[in-house]
Chain A
Amino acid sequence: MNRRDFLGAAASTLIAGPRLFETGGDQLQPIGLQLSTVHDTFTRDPEGTLAAVAAVGYRDVELYELYGPRGWDAKRLRAALDRTGLVARAVHVPTSLLYRGLERHAAVAASLGCTYIVCSHIDPDERRAVRDWHELAAVFNRAGETARRAGGGLRVAYHNHDYELASVDRQVPYDILLAETDPSLAWFELDARLGNPSAYLAAHRGRFFALHVGGEQVDPRLLAAARGALVERYFVEINDPPSPSIDSARRAYVALRQMRW
């Protein structure tokens, strides 16, 4: 959903029911969940966990496994999502998938309903020197080109951690990636818990498709900055929450639903 669709959806909500009007202000929506937040139960009971996520109120999810839990395939995963009314908007994948077979992975991701395939991790030995980041920027451009050629509307994105924000030889790797990737080929998912996200949002409008938020405490100014930077999606991601993990996912959802900016 782009900004225009978002406004359209908000307007139709106003017509359909008075809820937004009553509460006043914009709500952070749609709010999605990165399923890794509930990976402990998702691994054991995927269907039950998806139902619980939907029951909380989430409509969007971000996957952390392209083919679902062990023994599953994309078809089964899509059917399980459809049964609960959840929509997978994006999927996290390891870097290795960007190098080989990406056209096949892109087709699978598109069949799941995703519009973004997100590289979510770079091992320490893949990023020992500044040269690695220059090369990785080229890898993301090539992967973006491959995804575009594959059709299906899938885009390649990169999810940051803290290591991209720490200088290597007086250069910030994240700045290298933003400078050297083609905005028409590579997008970014910004982790709002790290570094200075507002500054990045302001400086690179339109390049961040999603914001990852950590839970109950989110600065409304950051959300306003995200809206201004044309962020399309908001995903809650909590790393290894206490059991039951769905409770943490619920608290974050409730808190974010009540936020205005």
Chain B
Amino acid sequence: MNTAINAPTAARHLDHVGLALYTLRSELARDFEGTLRKVAAIGYRELDMYVYETTLEAPATRAMLDRTGLVCSSARVRTTHLYRGWERFLDAAATLGARYITLAYLAPEEIVTLADWHELAELFNRCGAAAARHGLTFCYHNHESEFVAIDGTVPYDLLIAETDPGLVKLQVDVYWLTRGGRAPAVELRRLAGRVATLHLKDMDATPARGIATVGRGTIDFAALMRAAIDTGISHWYVEEDNPPAPGIDAVRFAYQYLERLDV
């Protein structure tokens, strides 16, 4: 918020930060509930997590979240669930308490031609309509290949044009968006209304532009979060694919960095 002329106003801070549980998958595999307690102790309240992170059924997972004081606001799924058992996954996601059901990943073989993207847009519309009947919003999570043109068309733009804005929203991964050549803050404002949630991860300063812990890289999170708040986005999740061990320390650093950020 630009208040250069008026007397300085109080700094604006994020009042909540979420975590993508994928970040801590090795710790969770060793001790699921114990790791959730550590996550909650840092201050995180919201999670983005697979519908089935363990062999537990959804009610038992929900009970565990309730015990640790965490909320699953975004439940993740893989493509195969869109084709088979979708209603069961919607039920399970609703049991977890999720508001969003997010497709996490498409394999390279699934997105070879523009025909694939046209078909996926149609599939997402159908799945989004079913999700809405369960009180859930369907979201699509991007990586980098969505920004590589096929026959002159950028798949991400095709997807946004061909999906119903009321049924299909976006979970924007700001790292992959940046790698895809787009400025996240600008893109969030351009896509206002289509973006429901964010994955926050940073980009290191090496030529390889690898993934870094949020706050240790080159992405301007203050500008990004200002754009997010201005456009009505209210769910964001810290993620780091392979955090330095122990992962919980990286997750704590990211939380404290975001908490202090003046947005």
Which A residues are within 8 Å of any B CB, using their own CB?
A: 65-67, 70, 93-97, 99-101, 104-105, 123-126, 128, 132, 135-136, 139
Residue among A70, A97, A104, A139 making CB contact with B84, cutoff 8 Å: A139
Given contacts A96-B107, A124-B52, A125-B52, 7 further A-B contacts (CB under 8 A): A67-B108, A93-B109, A123-B80, A125-B81, A126-B80, A132-B85, A139-B84
Also in contact, A135 and B109, with CB within 8 A (given A96-B79, A123-B78): no
In the assembled complex, the CB of A158 is this many whole angstroms from the nearest CB of chain B, namely 14
In the assembled complex, the CB of B58 is this many whole angstroms from the nearest CB of chain A, namely 11
Whether A99 contacts B52 by the Cβ 8 Å rule is: no
In the assembled complex, the CB of B29 is this many whole angstroms from the nearest CB of chain A, namely 12
Residues in B with CB closer than 8 Å to A66 are 109
Whether B85 contacts A95 by the Cβ 8 Å rule is: no
Binds A, one of B111-119, B127-135, B236-244, B245-253: B111-119
Q: How far is the CA of A70 from the CA of B113 in the complex (A)?
A: 15
Whether A101 contacts B119 by the Cβ 8 Å rule is: yes
In the assembled complex, the CB of A257 is this many whole angstroms from the nearest CB of chain B, namely 33
Residues in B with CB closer than 8 Å to A100 are 83, 110, 116, 119, 123
List 25 A-B pairs, Cβ < 8 Å.
A65-B108, A65-B109, A67-B108, A67-B109, A96-B78, A96-B79, A96-B106, A96-B107, A97-B109, A97-B110, A99-B83, A99-B84, A100-B119, A101-B110, A101-B116, A104-B115, A105-B109, A125-B50, A125-B52, A125-B78, A126-B81, A128-B52, A132-B85, A135-B85, A139-B84
Q: How far is the CA of A66 from the CA of B108 in the complex (A)?
A: 10
Residues in A with CB closer than 8 Å to B110 are 94, 96-97, 100-101
Complex: chain A residue closest to B53, CB-CB: A125
Residues in B with CB closer than 8 Å to A139 are 84
In the assembled complex, the CB of A110 is this many whole angstroms from the nearest CB of chain B, namely 15
Produce 1/0 per residue, B135-169, CB < 8 A to A: 00000000000000000000000000000000000
Q: How far is the CA of A139 from the CA of B50 in the complex (A)?
A: 24
Complex: chain B residue closest to A70, CB-CB: B108
Interface residues of B in 195-219 (CB under 8 A from A): none
Complex: chain B residue closest to A95, CB-CB: B80
B51 at the interface (CB under 8 A from A): yes
Interface centre among B51, B81, B112, B115 (most CB of A within 10 A): B112
Q: How far is the CA of A125 from the CA of B78 in the complex (A)?
A: 9
In the assembled complex, the CB of B130 is this many whole angstroms from the nearest CB of chain A, namely 16
Also in contact, A96 and B108, with CB within 8 A (given A101-B115, A101-B116, A125-B78): no
Q: How far is the CA of A99 from the CA of B116 in the complex (A)?
A: 12
Complex: chain B residue closest to A94, CB-CB: B107
Whether A104 contacts B113 by the Cβ 8 Å rule is: yes
Q: How far is the CA of A119 from the CA of B119 in the complex (A)?
A: 21
In the assembled complex, the CB of B75 is this many whole angstroms from the nearest CB of chain A, namely 11
Residues in B with CB closer than 8 Å to A104 are 112-113, 115
Residues in B with CB closer than 8 Å to A67 are 108-109, 112
Complex: chain B residue closest to A99, CB-CB: B83
Complex: chain A residue closest to B120, CB-CB: A100
Q: How far is the CA of A209 from the CA of B52 in the complex (A)?
A: 34
Interface residues of B in 84-114 (CB under 8 A from A): 84-85, 106-110, 112-113
Produce 1/0 per residue, B42-86, CB < 8 A to A: 000000001110010000000000000000000000111101110
Residues in B with CB closer than 8 Å to A96 are 78-80, 83, 106-107, 109-110
Residues in B with CB closer than 8 Å to A97 are 107, 109-110
Residues in B with CB closer than 8 Å to A128 are 52
Interface centre among B50, B109, B119 (most CB of A within 10 A): B109
Residues in A with CB closer than 8 Å to B108 are 65, 67, 70
Interface residues of B in 158-188 (CB under 8 A from A): none
